[in-house]
Structure 1
Amino acid sequence: MPRPTPSDLVFEQIAEEQFPGIQKALAEKGYEATDRDAFLMVREAVMLVRELRPEQGLGEAVDQLVALVHHAYLVWDAGMLTLSIGDEQAVELLGASVTANGEPADLPRAYYAQLPERRIWAEVVEGESAEPLDGCFLHSTAGGELRVLGVFGLHPGRSGFSVVEAVGSRPGRLARVDGTPLFSPTLSGGAAALLHSIVGGEELLELGWRIRFAAAAASLEAVRWTP
């Protein structure tokens, strides 16, 4: 049975009831949907963010909520596709640099990439326990940058989950300060358990770029697109 995605858990009813109104408003105003500033100029989008905001407020975390709503809308607008990446394909992604020239023409405008469960971890909040990465929302901006929203700590026993966004061109000559390989485990016993870790926003962004290019590569032909 497929694992539920954040869209399944949070936006299933919202997508049916509210996303069409946002889509119509964006079209009427002639706004590019990937432009977040324009997205937030649409009354229907702002109202949805306010509806999802808890009563006690979010403080600076409101930016994370805005990012989640925006990514979820774009995935809905692009056809609600999920890219499922298996264990072997994930190892290939994390173990070596994936290269490509230009933007793959046959990829959806936006999608959710779901990675193997509890295999990739990150310290989302400094000083707190690491959380497992469920997957990433991805879409390209009009300027050619990639927006990656990592979703961490998604499991049935938790009422919510954590998100971290990274935006930009593909990092060049990325290296960790301590000299360890990218995506190598930082958790105690992680190597023996065949785990991986993400350290910092640039590493999350690099993972997003690898997913984006590898999705169209023959070496990852076993990945699955599901509506």
Structure 2
Amino acid sequence: MTEAEFVTATRVFYDAIAEDYAELFLDPLAESPLDRAVLTGFAELVGRGGAVADLGCGPGRVTRFLATLGLDVFGLDLSASMLAIARREHPQLRFKRGSMLALDLADGALAGVVSWYSSIHTPVDELPSLFAEFHRVLAPGGHLLLAFQVGDAPRRHEQPFGHPVTLDFLRRRPEEMAELLRAAGFAPVSRTLREPRGTEPTPQAALIVRKDQGLVTK
């Protein structure tokens, strides 16, 4: 299958900047108690030992935090360079290479899915397919956590850290994302909106939704 252009652009971008990115964001949750609270609440909804995929895991810092909360979690990412860092820093955890648009998982295999700022490079017209794939791999009653920057205009990163790559970071509106998730067969559980922290230019949103028995993907 031919890789979509936006998927290729995302993979190339993160392969190029992986080491610089990992050094800059050594522990992104350490100074963000509200983000830790969202992840902790999600983990409690899933339940200890629940099988969870951290999709778009990057260097694995969120994967590690989820593991400390008692989840049976693995990380997945497009970027081989990001995964090399994740495996180096967290050898006790499982990491796989792949696309979250086409997961190598059986239907209903997971109790939880985390997409922590990993859908922000997916064009809006591809989001229904992405959310349908999340829905497919979750068991009935399973939970999805989706985090993203709030806004309308994308932010283009050109030549970050001096590397010759460019990528758009897409911002979303929580109400629009909630409607797309509802159309994909999810029921709302929680919607969190926090103000920018530190150098963040925009508010940050996190949605938790649940796959219920009887809800079907449209």
TM above 0.5, one fold? no
Q: When the two structures are superposed, what TM-score results if normalisation uses the length of structure 1?
A: 0.29
